Amino acid sequence: MTKSDTLDVKESARARGKTRRNAHETRERLLQAATQEFSERGYDGARMERIVRAADCNVRMVYHYFDDKEGLYLTVLERVYEELRAKEQALNLSYLEPVAGMRALVEFTFDHMAEHPEFTSLVRNENLLGGRMLRKSSKVVQQTTPLVGMIRDTLKRGEAAGLFRSAVDPTQLYISILSLSIIHINQRDTLSIIFEQDLADPDWLIERRAHAVEVILSYLCVESRVIK
């Protein structure tokens, strides 16, 4: 191979690398724009023209990467769940003492919902659709299985150590954790009016977070002293 041929090969490799980077960046911009659009307007109210304008690309790119609006929406849903599940796994509950592990899970769930309004909006909008789109995804179900196993393992370890009550269902428990972490967000406006308190106030949220931890641990723990 001549020096000229070598240069051509390197230049071709650089061009392919740049093309892949550009493709990744375009796809990422589309997902970010779509996440914003779907979370603000729901599936039916979202418009492709707003998404591609915000992503600074053309509608052909949507069909290239996601097939259609439904495919884009489902990818957005799968991604927000994937991010949540990955962070839950990163808690490494199996390496924590059971009470500390459950505390960490409650605190993480509470904080994640507060810090990711796009997640709560997307889930709320999907519930308005009766879960129609999410039902088409096997990925979200598969990603949730390790979470249930992680909670079950922590419960078993806590029960074996005499810390937790017996026969706690991991799914029931997680739904309770999620409820304590999200209802004050989904119903913030009406609850703030009804109870004449600002549910977005930082001090109120600190109290709410502590309350969520105490409720879950009070239910789980055989003796209240282990909550402290």
**Nearest CA to 110 among 18, 212, 25?**
212
Please give the share of the chain, as a percent, with pLDDT higher than 70.
89
Q: How far apart are CA 42 and CA 39, in angstroms?
A: 6
pLDDT band for 5, please (50, 70, 90 cuts): low
DSSP letter string, 173-186: HHHHHHHHHHHHHH
pLDDT band for 7, please (50, 70, 90 cuts): very low
Retrieve residue 55's tokens: 């992503």
Give SS3 for 164: strand
Q: How far apart are CA 194 and CA 179, in angstroms?
A: 19
The answer on 26 and 110 residing in a single domain is no
Assess whether pLDDT exceeds 90 at residue 223: no
Report in angstroms the alpha-carbon separations of 34 from 2, 29, 49, 54, 149.
Answer: 48, 8, 11, 9, 32
The answer on 98 and 61 residing in a single domain is no
The answer on 156 and 105 residing in a single domain is yes
- Point out which residues pair with 221 in neighbouring strands: 164
- Contact partners, residue 224, CB within 8 Å, separation at least 6: 218
> What is the structure's pLDDT at 13?
44
The total of structural domains in the chain comes to: 2
- State the pTM of this model: 0.85
- Please state the separation of Cα 47 from the chain's center in Å: 23
Retrieve residue 152's tokens: 């079950």
Q: Which residues form the domain of 4?
A: 1-66
pLDDT, tens digit, 9 for 90 and up, residues 149-172: 999 999 999 999 999 999 999 999
* Domain stops at, among 66, 94, 119: 66
The answer on 207 and 109 residing in a single domain is yes
The answer on 87 and 199 residing in a single domain is yes
183-187 own/partner pairs: CB under 8 Å, 24+ apart: 184/208, 185/113, 185/114, 185/117, 185/120, 186/120, 186/124
Measure the CA angle with vertex 183, ends 228 and 192; round to 5°.
100
Assess whether pLDDT exceeds 70 at residue 14: no
Assess whether pLDDT exceeds 80 at residue 11: no
The domain that holds 115 is classified in CATH as 1.10.357.10
* Domain stops at, among 43, 66, 89: 66
Indicate the burial class of 132 (C-beta count within 10 angstroms; 0-12, 13-18, 19 or more): exposed
DSSP 2: -
Q: How far apart are the first and last CA of the chain?
A: 72
The domain that holds 52 is classified in CATH as 1.10.10.60
Indicate the burial class of 15 (C-beta count within 10 angstroms; 0-12, 13-18, 19 or more): exposed
Assess whether pLDDT exceeds 90 at residue 1: no
* Domain stops at, among 66, 86, 120: 66
Q: How far apart are CA 101 and CA 111, in angstroms?
A: 15
